[in-house]
Structure 1
Amino acid sequence: MAKTIHIALVGNPNSGKSSLFNVLTGLNQKVGNFPGVTVDKKVGICQLSETLSASIVDLPGTYSLYPRREDEWVAYRVLMRQDKDVEEPEMVVLIADASNLKRNLLFASQIIDLKIPVVVGLTMMDIARHKGIQIDVAELERELGVPVVPINPRKNKGILPLKKAIEQTALELYKAPVRDFINNEALAPAAIGSVKALFPELSDYKAVHYLINHESFSLNNQMQEKIESIEQDNNFNHTKTQAEEILQRYQRIGSILKQSVTEPSPLQKTLFTEKLDNIFLHRRWGYLILLAVLFLLFQSVFWLAEYPMTGIDWAFGEISGWLTSVMKPGWFTDLLINGIVAGLGGILIFIPQIMILFGLVTILEDTGYMARISFLTDKLMRKVGLNGKSVMPMISGFACAVPAIMSARNIENKKERLLTILVTPLMSCSARLPVYTILIGLVIPKKMFAGFLGLQGLVMMGLYLLGPIMSLLVSYVARLFINIKEKSFFILELPVYRAPRWKNVVVTMLSKARIFVFDAGKVIMVISLILWALSTYGPKERMSGVEARYEQQLKQHPEQEAELSRLKNTELLANSYAGILGRSIEPAIEPLGYDWKIGIALITSFAAREVFVGTMATLYSVEGGNDADESTLMEKMHAAVRPNGSKVYTVASGISLMIFYAFAMQCMSTLAIVKRETRSWKWPLIQLVYMTGLAYIISLIAYQLLK
């Protein structure tokens, strides 16, 4: 039976740690080429040999053992063995960026002095070589006193030697160095000795951390008081001790680098990354390039997805028509065609756009450009109470607000973090994409400007820009009401530019499509079936009255059978349970340009915004009966009219509806995650009220101006 050891995987942000975790564990975890992707603990199993396996916890990236951000505290507590939710690590695998070795060795030296067995994985060796940096790995290993293995997780190189080093360390062929990296005891001899008298198992360096951060450790009140007393008796100064320690570590690291690393002259020519940054981060051209990239992103969603979407829409129309011709009329046929097939069509039609959007976003992340967006926007963000790090959650919000809000843990400043959480749901997440695309296709003509600028793409880009613009305005106002005073600093490591990993792009596209079909799709299908039932059945007296009235009219005017059948289906739908619900809220939404069918979609969208399309598909299928089953959903919506004969979907009502979906808080999952992150129902309720109110007011203004 294989023995299992517990390993903590640690390293600086953007050092290749999450890539290695994927390779070792085989898990399809998302890897982004910018700092701060890993904001929580992730665990996987790695088979090291026939007799040894490892449970690996991937800890958030951190620069040192002095945590400032919430995600750094997660890593710190595990390494100090103060997190009861995680098995105590018996070993640490530390990932160090060979192209930034001085900074990475600071963290490595601190881990070594905790006296936990360590294996160092050297990544970015190719970038180091490109910079002209040569590393004597054997000499570095001797100086550190721990195994050092060059690896390249992106190309699956060095993984077997790394596993071998881990196995040998687990078998105690390698042991933690006896000597400290620096003389930790000399930092505060009396205080450290007193703490070690209370906890004999501690190393000198770990005793320093008990003195500095004991309030955050799981210690009983008696021990807390004793450590506090040791601090006071010895005049222990946290800041002075920390500064002295860091200074000594960098002095020792400098001497190690002289022995083991050869670096080129600083006058050497500028690297390719720096040359590109001169263009992409230019004070004027940088912003124009950013706008161009965003436009191409959203225009491509239409260019590339048009034909597969049209094909899927046509296929489901043909399937509905074929089923109508071969199956006998009845409730089951109606359920299959207008409930299941219509709902399924509402899911699958948007897979091409979702795959294309996420594929393009992954390319931006992998190439390193996403981090530049943070850098470019920091100045603007600060003016409204945020900082450049807020951009990462906000950009992630274009995919899904739930993980985006969780990634706001990266932001050290509490006020900026709270403001980021409050405005992130204003970003147009992927759930809004199906709503935008079907409405743009309905009401926005396919016009081209200058031969290449498509009006539909411009409208799509405008909708996506509405989120960031409104989030800045909301943050500017909200910062005046949130009374948290705390200084903040923006420090961001810009990764080097790299070619995208096409395998990662494809995996992400397939993963997002699968999530949409099986997660969002389940919700859409359930609501489609419930809607079919609510749309097909109603109060017996009402439904019977409609049937009887039209039967009588059909006897009197048999030549008008098709028209009478259409009118009967419309009136049956209006008198169904769904129709009654929609009619009850119609007075509130009529000023926005919506009819009662759209009202039903607004209600069902609180489960998931994508449900709008499934709701429309079900309602128009039920209303159309069997005569319109071969029509596509777009054709049914385009033909929809009000009782007075006017079109339901016009430019005015379409833009009003798109704006409503752009701003409204229609996601129960987001409200739940905000409650969890803020530990209060106050903030999600504030979000629900302000976003819904904002959506209603701006949609009302838009419709009244455009109608």
Structure 2
Amino acid sequence: MKVALVGNPNSGKTSLFNQLTGLHQKVGNFPGVTVDKKTGKAKLPNGVTITVLDLPGTYSLYPNSLDENVVLDILLNPDNSDFPDIIVAVVDASNLKRSLLLFYQVKALGIPCLLVLNQLDEALDKGIVLDPQKLSEKLDVDVLEINAREGLGINNLKDILARPQVLKELEVEDLSPEYTKVAKEVGEFLNEPNQYRNLQIAAQGEKLSFLTTAEFVGIEKIKKELNFIPSKFQTWETMMRFGAISELQKEVQRTKNTEITTSWLDKILLHKVWGYVIFAFILGSVFQAVFVLANYPADLIDAGIAALTSTLREVLPAGKFADLLTDGLIAGIGGVVIFIPQIALLFGFITIMEETGYMARVIVLMDKLVRKFGMSGRSVVPLISSMACAVPAIMSARTIGNWKERIVTIMVTPLMSCQARLPIYTILIALVVPNELFLGFIGYQGLALMGLYFLGAISALLAGLVIKKFIKSDSKSMFFMELPAFRPPRWSEVAYTIYEKSKTFVLEAGKVILAISLVLWVLSSYGPGESFSGAEERIVQASPELQGAELEDAIAAEKLQNSYAGHFGKTIEPVIRPLGYDWKIGIALIASFAAREVFVGTMSTIYSIGSKTEEDGTIKARLKREKDPVTGEPVFGVATSFSLLVFYVFAMMCMSTIAVVYRETKGWKWPMIQLAYMSVLAYVAAFIVYQLLK
């Protein structure tokens, strides 16, 4: 048996899905968090296992975006493999009028359904009191009270789902005579008895994937003959249903004169000046915490990796296997795991903002701002989501119905700094920005990190301003959003999100880094002909005074320069030298195109192979020790480090981002334009920064 969860965004639908199935899915406070349909299994009291579908949130059966269209496409097609046997309509008890529009439409389709009232606590806070029994009588469906966040009422819901025979198929309502003939003729043409489904197919046939060309043409002919205007029908239906809902509210809902405690807070958080000031302050605090709180555990992990490497070198017999393990795998993976504390803290704070309801305020606050740059409030969701990863962020742009705004959003989203850039930012900032306080309590390193994130955000807005000039579209979009009530965060959800994000960061990045570390070690440990095999002899002859560790370092450095990786790095060095980068950094730049996290791991591997000095065990020590052989100056000085930081703010994230842009835009045009403009922007900006600071 298939059970579909249907409801408005922020109605608690996804929380109910988690309670029923035990699957943990992202629960946000903004429209479109569930872009694709989600499925899971739930076991009922009678032992039957059902399939639960979490359909995308929508306000009605008239979709304004790609994700909302999924709901329409499934519910209008009984032959769809995901067509439900039962619909559970999740209704926000604090906003009955808005929620019941979708319920009335679903009910009219004749699919067996039941209604669950969620967020009753918020309704009570607003002074709203409902009569579930009377609501059930008026709607002729089972009505249950639940609290999806706390898991209350879930067992009662399972009991009813275990008795599907009590859910009788609903009769279709009477239609206006004006549309009865259209519904009848479309029904005869499609052999479909449900009149409301016929009208929806007639009104929105171009959005339905299951109609054949012949069916679509036939329906269009009927519409033309009967002068059926879809927009007129939509207006009539919406007004008719809201009228019925208003009458229903008079009988089932009482409202007390209760002061809404969040109203004064919203006036501050959504203020045209103070709202932005508060948001900037919160972000600044987050970035300060990323450095201050994560510094100690990160240093401990780094020291632990160094100690492990040193121990293995002592225990294992010298040879290629020991070098592969210590200089390749451990050095590469170590370049990622030391950043787990920063990743955990960043996502912990973001989850708290989502859980409390503040992130929804940020989206509303930003709507007016981003519209000036070719986007809308719906664009804020992908932009903020890209702080985690650009790939799902770009996919979430499906919630944007306006084609122009969607393309602009997709094109600028990678400029927002993602979690993969965080390791690069933190390691380079730690090398050149002093760990000191400004005004006695503001860390310079935290300010630098916040500056990089703001640089990416400002660049995204400016890029949107330029890109929108080249995209022609006359359509206008509207953005509306019901602000959720403020609530304390569920610490279990915060902890789970931190765990999941940290695990994903390590596993996903780890797979790429493991492969690249192996390839890089091979390319760095072997080389062509005499230039590589004769490295040791050349060093001994050229510098007979060298002994012990100094001799080993010199030989290792000479071999690295003449390895396959060294030859490749030397080939591209003339192109990147104006940016302040040597051939070793060039190798890391190319490798990091697979995934940005790879940069630090690659540098760690290269410097492990190029140096055998035990005291340089930590990643920071290796990078800080590296000297330019020509000038004798540190490679990672102020000019080069800031040039790299700026380069990674603007450079295209990774191959996965290009792939998802190709998929979402259905062609190579936009991803190639995106790759070109971001690459040029990154190169020019890094060049300017280096030339100014050197």
The C-alpha deviation readout for 1:248-291, integer Å capped at 9, x for no partner, is: 212221222111111124xx43x122121011112221111011
Q: Distance in 1 between matches of 2:178 and 2:493?
A: 47
Q: Distance in 2 between matches of 1:372 and 1:400?
A: 22
Residues 258 and 27 of structure 1: is their aligned pair in 2 closer, same or farther, counting only changes over 3 Å?
A: same
- TM-score, scaled to structure 1: 0.95
Structure 1 gap segments, 5+ residues each: none
Q: Distance in 1 between matches of 2:135 and 2:341?
A: 50
**Which runs of structure 2 are paired with 1:193-204 in the superposition (5 Å)?**
193-204=184-195
Alpha-carbon distance, 1:178 to partner? 2.6
CA contact (8 A) 1:119 1:165 kept: no
Q: Distance in 2 between matches of 1:82 and 1:459?
A: 56
**Which runs of structure 2 are paired with 1:382-531 in the superposition (5 Å)?**
382-531=371-520
Alpha-carbon distance, 1:50 to partner? 3.5
1:258 counterpart residue number: 250
Structure 2 gap segments, 5+ residues each: none
Deviates more, 1:239-248 or 1:5-14: 239-248
CA contact (8 A) 2:579 2:686 kept: yes
Match of 2:309 among 320, 329, 352: 320
Match of 1:609 among 584, 591, 596: 596
Deviates more, 1:658-667 or 1:340-349: 340-349
* 1:632 maps to 2:615: no
Deviates more, 1:92-101 or 1:62-71: 62-71
Match of 1:211 among 199, 202, 205: 202
Amino acid at match of 2:169: A
**Which runs of structure 2 are paired with 1:344-355 in the superposition (5 Å)?**
344-355=333-344
Q: Distance in 2 between matches of 1:665 and 1:109?
A: 46
Alpha-carbon distance, 1:159 to partner? 0.2
**Which runs of structure 2 are paired with 1:591-606 in the superposition (5 Å)?**
591-606=578-593
* 1:585 maps to 2:585: no
CA contact (8 A) 2:40 2:53 kept: yes
Alpha-carbon distance, 1:228 to partner? 2.3
The C-alpha deviation readout for 1:97-128, integer Å capped at 9, x for no partner, is: 00000111111111111100011111010111
CA contact (8 A) 1:593 1:656 kept: yes
Q: Distance in 1 between matches of 2:283 and 2:490?
A: 21
CA contact (8 A) 1:39 1:71 kept: yes
Q: Distance in 2 between matches of 1:279 and 1:194?
A: 55
Deviates more, 1:255-264 or 1:151-160: 255-264
Residues 561 and 191 of structure 1: is their aligned pair in 2 closer, same or farther, counting only changes over 3 Å?
A: closer
Over the matched positions of the two proteins, sequence identity in percent amounts to: 49
Q: Distance in 1 between matches of 2:591 and 2:47?
A: 53
The C-alpha deviation readout for 1:228-264, integer Å capped at 9, x for no partner, is: 2322222223222222222221222122211111112
Q: Distance in 2 between matches of 1:158 and 1:536?
A: 63
Alpha-carbon distance, 1:83 to partner? 7.7
2:692 counterpart residue number: 705
SS at match of 2:602: helix
Amino acid at match of 2:658: L
Q: Distance in 1 between matches of 2:618 and 2:187?
A: 75
2:226 counterpart residue number: 234
CA contact (8 A) 1:185 1:192 kept: no
SS at match of 1:594: coil
1:62 counterpart residue number: 58
Residues 317 and 225 of structure 1: is their aligned pair in 2 closer, same or farther, counting only changes over 3 Å?
A: closer
Residues 629 and 321 of structure 1: is their aligned pair in 2 closer, same or farther, counting only changes over 3 Å?
A: farther
Residues 247 and 561 of structure 1: is their aligned pair in 2 closer, same or farther, counting only changes over 3 Å?
A: closer
Match of 2:16 among 15, 20, 42: 20
* 1:173 maps to 2:162: no
SS at match of 1:480: helix
1:573 counterpart residue number: 560
Alpha-carbon distance, 1:292 to partner? 0.1
Residues 189 and 413 of structure 1: is their aligned pair in 2 closer, same or farther, counting only changes over 3 Å?
A: same
Match of 2:284 among 295, 301, 315: 295
Residues 179 and 612 of structure 1: is their aligned pair in 2 closer, same or farther, counting only changes over 3 Å?
A: closer
Alpha-carbon distance, 1:174 to partner? 2.2
Alpha-carbon distance, 1:153 to partner? 1.3
1:656 counterpart residue number: 643
Alpha-carbon distance, 1:412 to partner? 1.2
Alpha-carbon distance, 1:552 to partner? 4.0
**Which runs of structure 2 are paired with 1:334-373 in the superposition (5 Å)?**
334-373=323-362
The C-alpha deviation readout for 1:549-608, integer Å capped at 9, x for no partner, is: 234457x536x4433332222111111111111111111111111111100000000111
Q: What is the CA RMSD across the aligned residues, in angstroms?
A: 1.6
SS at match of 1:303: helix
Amino acid at match of 1:74: V
SS at match of 1:428: coil
- TM-score, scaled to structure 2: 0.97
1:46 counterpart residue number: 42
Q: Distance in 1 between matches of 2:324 and 2:227?
A: 78
Give the number of equivalent residue pairs.
692
The C-alpha deviation readout for 1:169-209, integer Å capped at 9, x for no partner, is: x2x212133352xx225341222222232344432211211
* 1:144 maps to 2:127: no
1:72 counterpart residue number: 68
CA contact (8 A) 2:593 2:655 kept: yes
SS at match of 2:10: coil
Residues 705 and 552 of structure 1: is their aligned pair in 2 closer, same or farther, counting only changes over 3 Å?
A: closer
Residues 474 and 82 of structure 1: is their aligned pair in 2 closer, same or farther, counting only changes over 3 Å?
A: farther
Q: Distance in 2 between matches of 1:602 and 1:31?
A: 35
